[in-house]
């Protein structure tokens, strides 16, 4: 039985472009669902909403918000859960601080973010804010493993209307650079526990023992990893690559994920900032520290901190002139790769560079070959092999390419490496140990001050569920199926010990291959180049990376992916593809009132959600709605009703009108439910008859700046006004 207070379907309130789009699309969804007796509600998991909820106990009554993330975390463990999750911000420190400032300006009595907490009160505030950073949402909601793929209609459209790919030159200097020792990959150890245990993580030094974390709980069968990255090895690697880049005449680019990997990657990013400006820190380090400079926050924040210190600015200018040219986020505004840790996110930046023929934008606003610096070598070989493949074979042809689907291990916080609360920057030299409750030392590492040590785990039940999901998907498709696991890597070797027996017990071991990521990359590219299809069965981080890499190559975007999470207790979580929350789309929207965000991912998730509801509840009307959503999605694609990038052309709001119209027409024309057909026939007529007025209204809204009353927290009335500018359409929808 579902909770009568819980809507049949939860549509999440998030951030940036998807949240803008929701103001237009969600009223349409609610109007259509109502005819089938289905309630569609919203829960706030936006960055701003989570900040306010976290501090609600300290806020005035009229400023408090419920903890919707915690409520959804409980819901996804229920068999009736049906959640449509849109992309949300995984906040870096600069994003978090900016959101706090905006909320304070709106009157919310929030404490300032303590950069360097000194008092116990400041430390408590910082601890609260730290819970909001990074990938704080996904581990809570993902109580199941991931099935991500391009919907058949989307793939067909991409083949019929292939996007432009940059040409690859065999002599391209573009390459991937990663550490050959001293990194997470080379230092990893892993073990599978034969019993349930609790553990503490300690640092033993000459001064005694410090407890880094205690009360870590592991069920029996859990795979537990530990590893570290040497700060000294990292610095030496970065210094060497900066010099090599200068000699090669390419762009220097750093590709990290300081959002999902909220503990480790901002630190690594800070090392890169410090190494790039090493002479400046050598000369003015004390003054910069006194000014509050934190390299982890990026070059942009550093420049702000020393803006009143001309001697430091002059030294920065001199050093930058001597360094290699840098890969740019926005060359027109002078925003470099190292300005903000969350500006260059590896799973988006590397596929975009590869799609462009290995070219990145430089400070001269032209494209150049690039040194792609990915310090940890765990997954860098995926991008390295992709670049090597295209140098040898030329660009992929989207018109004939097959597809790479993904089955990803992520349930119950599996492999939450960088955002896991067991990642630490080591304060002083010593030995880090994971000590079990019976005194057994499970793992230990000798570390130096500044090293980054981390542990993560994957539980038995999610691993076995993941393998079964792969078996089911391969059986349904017949595609080539590859487990991307490296038997030479400690963690992967433990997973392989789970995978093989499950495959053997099911009698399907001959249907699957196990390959290290580099070999699997080559095999998958060879397969899709032939027009054939494959399933990549991966851990959590590779799931994240590959469900951007291959869709961007195949479809030009990862935002259109069908993403189904089969929750382990029976519910369903339907994610609206990958692709982030598109801050550049918001920038254009605020400047021109044109939103180029494509809601195709939302359409795909919506259809699956309705059909899942039909299966779970026995509501046959829900299935009719879901099948009509698929017809409407096909209509949007067939008639090219997706948003354009240019102001004045149809945008996201236009695509919603056409989606609603095709959806209503499909419902009016279907013969499975006469009651729904009768209900939607007049709606379909009204939408068709109102076409000229509605599209005219939507076109007239563009061209001027759009005011939504905020960036991280919009004003609902202003947002509705700009995202629903057609009175004619609003009168029809309600």
CA trace torsion 331, 332, 334, 338 (10° rounding): -40
The per-residue pLDDT for range 367-412, each reduced to its tens digit, is 999 999 999 999 999 999 999 999 999 999 999 999 999 999 999 9
Q: What is the rounded distance in angstroms from the CA atom of residue 606 to the CA atom of residue 625?
A: 9
DSSP notation for 246-298: HHHT-EEEE-B-TTTSTTHHHHHHHHHHHHHTHHHHHHHHHHHHHTT--GGG-
Q: Does position 1 have pLDDT exceeding 50, yes or no? A: no
State the pLDDT confidence band at 3, using cuts at 50, 70 and 90.
very low
What is the share, in percent, of the chain residues with pLDDT greater than 70? Answer: 98
State the pLDDT confidence band at 578, using cuts at 50, 70 and 90.
low
Neighbours of 52 (CB within 10 A): 23
Average pLDDT over residues 507-526: 98
Residue 478 tokens, joined: 């017949």
Crossing angle for the helix pair 691-700 and 652-669, nearest 10 degrees?
160
Q: Are strands 328-330 and 335-336 parallel, antiparallel or unpaired?
A: antiparallel
Is the same domain home to 389 and 246?
yes
In a domain, 281, yes or no: yes
Would you call 618 exposed, middle or buried from its count of C-beta atoms within 10 A (0-12, 13-18, 19+)?
Answer: exposed
Is the same domain home to 285 and 395?
yes
State the pLDDT confidence band at 67, using cuts at 50, 70 and 90.
very high
Last residue of a domain, one of 410, 436, 456: 456
- Conformational region of residue 415, where left means phi above 0, alpha means psi within -120 to 50, and beta covers everything else: left
Sign of CA dihedral 586, 591, 596, 602: positive
Are 51 and 103 within 8 A, CB to CB? yes
| Residue among 177, 187, 265 nearest 230 (CA) | 187
Q: Does position 536 have pLDDT exceeding 90, yes or no? A: yes
Is the same domain home to 28 and 123?
yes
**Structure confidence at residue 581 (pLDDT):** 66
State the pLDDT confidence band at 91, using cuts at 50, 70 and 90.
confident
Average pLDDT over residues 329-346: 91
Least confident range from 308-322, 411-425, 689-703: namely: 411-425
In a domain, 461, yes or no: no
Q: Does position 579 have pLDDT exceeding 70, yes or no? A: no
**Structure confidence at residue 166 (pLDDT):** 96
In a domain, 717, yes or no: yes
Average pLDDT over residues 456-461: 95
- φ, ψ dihedrals at 198, nearest 5°: -110, 160
Average pLDDT over residues 447-463: 96
Mean pLDDT of the chain: 95
Is the same domain home to 206 and 240?
no
| Residue among 557, 595, 554 nearest 577 (CA) | 557
Is the same domain home to 589 and 673?
yes
Residue with the bigger pLDDT between 353 and 3: it is 353
State the pLDDT confidence band at 580, using cuts at 50, 70 and 90.
low
Are 185 and 449 within 8 A, CB to CB? no
In a domain, 481, yes or no: no
In a domain, 708, yes or no: yes
Average pLDDT over residues 339-349: 90
Are 141 and 76 within 8 A, CB to CB? yes
The per-residue pLDDT for range 178-216, each reduced to its tens digit, is 999 999 999 999 999 999 999 999 999 999 999 999 999
Is the same domain home to 282 and 199?
no
Q: What is the rounded distance in angstroms from the CA atom of residue 375 to the CA atom of residue 178?
A: 5
The b/e string for 267-288 (b: 16+ C-beta within 10 A; e otherwise) is bbbbbbbbbbbbebbeebeeeb
In a domain, 520, yes or no: no
Last residue of a domain, one of 399, 431, 466: 399
**Structure confidence at residue 397 (pLDDT):** 97
Is the same domain home to 219 and 239?
no
Is 0.85 topped by the overall pTM?
A: yes
The per-residue pLDDT for range 44-60, each reduced to its tens digit, is 999 999 999 999 999 99
Q: What is the rounded distance in angstroms from the CA atom of residue 442 to the CA atom of residue 419?
A: 22
- Conformational region of residue 629, where left means phi above 0, alpha means psi within -120 to 50, and beta covers everything else: alpha
Is the same domain home to 221 and 252?
no
Is the same domain home to 365 and 445?
no
Q: What is the rounded distance in angstroms from the CA atom of residue 144 to the CA atom of residue 564?
A: 9
C-alpha to C-alpha distances, 375 to 147, 189, 267, 371, nearest whole angstrom: 29, 19, 12, 12
**Structure confidence at residue 85 (pLDDT):** 95
- φ, ψ dihedrals at 606, nearest 5°: -65, -45
Is the same domain home to 249 and 385?
yes
In a domain, 599, yes or no: yes
Q: What is the rounded distance in angstroms from the CA atom of residue 253 to the CA atom of residue 358?
A: 12
Helix (H, G, I), strand (E, B) or coil at 616: helix
Average pLDDT over residues 263-268: 92
Whole domain around residue 98: which residue ranges? 9-161+559-733
Is the same domain home to 235 and 219?
no
In a domain, 270, yes or no: yes
**Structure confidence at residue 524 (pLDDT):** 98
State the pLDDT confidence band at 152, using cuts at 50, 70 and 90.
confident
| Residue among 532, 486, 529, 537 nearest 508 (CA) | 537
Longest dimension (CA), the chain: 80
Q: What is the rounded distance in angstroms from the CA atom of residue 53 to the CA atom of residue 35?
A: 33
Are 258 and 269 within 8 A, CB to CB? yes
Average pLDDT over residues 238-244: 98
Number of structural domains, the chain?
3
Are 724 and 23 within 8 A, CB to CB? yes
Is the same domain home to 387 and 443?
no
Are 245 and 251 within 8 A, CB to CB? yes
Q: Does position 577 have pLDDT exceeding 90, yes or no? A: no
């Amino acid at each position: 039985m579902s909770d009568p207070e819980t809507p049949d379907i939860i549509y999440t309130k998030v951030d940036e472009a998807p949240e803008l789009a929701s103001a237009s699309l969600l009223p349409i969804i609610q109007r259509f669902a109502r005819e089938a007796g289905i309630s569609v509600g919203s829960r706030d998991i936006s960055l701003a909403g989570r900040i306010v909820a976290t501090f609600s106990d300290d806020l005035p009554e009229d400023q408090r918000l419920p903890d919707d993330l915690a409520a959804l975390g409980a819901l996804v463990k229920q068999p009736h859960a049906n959640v449509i999750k849109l992309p949300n911000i995984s906040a870096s420190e600069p994003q978090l601080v900016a959101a706090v400032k905006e909320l304070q300006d709106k009157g919310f009595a929030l404490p300032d973010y303590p950069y360097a907490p000194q008092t116990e009160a400041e430390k408590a505030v910082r601890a609260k804010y730290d819970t909001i950073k990074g990938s704080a949402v996904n581990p809570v909601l993902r109580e199941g493993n991931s099935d991500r793929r391009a919907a058949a209609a989307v793939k067909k459209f991409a083949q019929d209307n292939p996007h432009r790919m940059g040409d690859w030159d065999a002599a391209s200097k573009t390459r991937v650079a990663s550490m050959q020792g001293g990194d997470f990959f080379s230092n990893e150890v892993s073990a599978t526990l034969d019993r349930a245990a609790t553990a503490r993580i300690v640092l033993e030094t000459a001064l005694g023992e410090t407890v880094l974390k205690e009360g870590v709980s592991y069920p029996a069968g859990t795979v537990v990893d530990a590893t570290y990255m040497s700060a000294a090895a990292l610095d030496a690697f970065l210094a060497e690559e900066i010099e090599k880049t200068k000699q090669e005449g390419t762009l220097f680019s750093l590709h990290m994920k300081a959002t999902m990997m909220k503990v480790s990657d901002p630190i690594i990013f800070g090392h890169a900032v410090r190494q790039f400006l090493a002479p400046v820190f050598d000369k003015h380090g004390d003054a910069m520290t006194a000014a509050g400079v934190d390299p982890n926050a990026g070059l942009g924040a550093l420049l702000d901190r020393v803006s009143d210190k001309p001697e430091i600015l002059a030294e920065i200018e001199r050093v930058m002139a001597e360094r290699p040219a840098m890969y740019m986020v926005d060359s027109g505004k002078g925003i470099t790769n190292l300005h903000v840790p969350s500006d260059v996110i590896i799973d988006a930046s590397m596929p975009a560079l590869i799609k462009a023929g290995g070219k990145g934008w430089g400070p001269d606003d032209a494209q150049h070959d690039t040194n792609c610096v990915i310090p940890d070598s765990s997954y860098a070989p995926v991008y390295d092999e992709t670049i090597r493949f295209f140098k040898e074979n030329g660009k992929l042809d989207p018109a004939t390419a097959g597809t790479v689907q993904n089955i990803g291990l992520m349930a119950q916080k599996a492999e939450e490496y960088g955002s896991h609360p067991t990642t630490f920057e080591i304060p002083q030299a010593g030995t880090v140990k994971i000590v079990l409750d019976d005194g057994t030392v499970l793992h230990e590492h000798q570390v130096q001050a500044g090293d980054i040590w981390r542990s993560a785990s994957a539980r038995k039940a999610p691993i076995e569920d993941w393998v079964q999901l792969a078996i089911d998907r391969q059986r349904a498709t017949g595609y080539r199926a590859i487990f991307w696991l490296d038997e030479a890597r400690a963690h992967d070797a433990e997973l392989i010990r789970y995978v093989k027996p499950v495959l053997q017990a099911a009698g399907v071991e001959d249907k699957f291959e196990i390959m290290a990521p580099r070999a699997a990359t080559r095999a998958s590219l060879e397969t899709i180049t032939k027009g054939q299809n494959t399933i990549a069965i991966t851990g959590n981080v590779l799931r994240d990376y590959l469900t951007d890499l291959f869709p961007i190559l195949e479809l030009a975007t990862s935002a259109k992916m069908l993403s189904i999470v089969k929750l382990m207790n029976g519910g369903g979580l339907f994610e609206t593809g990958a692709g982030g929350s598109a801050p550049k789309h918001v920038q254009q929207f605020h400047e021109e009132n044109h939103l180029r965000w494509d809601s195709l991912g939302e359409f795909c998730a919506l259809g699956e959600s309705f059909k899942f509801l039909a299966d779970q509840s026995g509501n046959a009307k829900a299935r009719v709605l879901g099948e009509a959503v698929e017809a409407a999605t096909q209509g949007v694609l067939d008639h090219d009703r997706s948003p354009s990038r240019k102001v004045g052309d149809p945008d996201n709001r236009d695509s919603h009108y056409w989606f609603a119209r095709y959806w209503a027409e499909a419902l009016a024309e279907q013969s499975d439910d006469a009651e729904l057909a009768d209900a939607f026939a007049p709606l379909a007529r009204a939408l068709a008859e109102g076409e000229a007025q509605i599209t005219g209204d939507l076109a007239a809204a563009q061209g001027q700046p759009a005011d939504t009353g905020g960036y991280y927290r919009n004003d609902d009335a202003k947002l509705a006004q700009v995202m629903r500018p057609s009175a004619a359409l609003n009168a029809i929808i309600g």
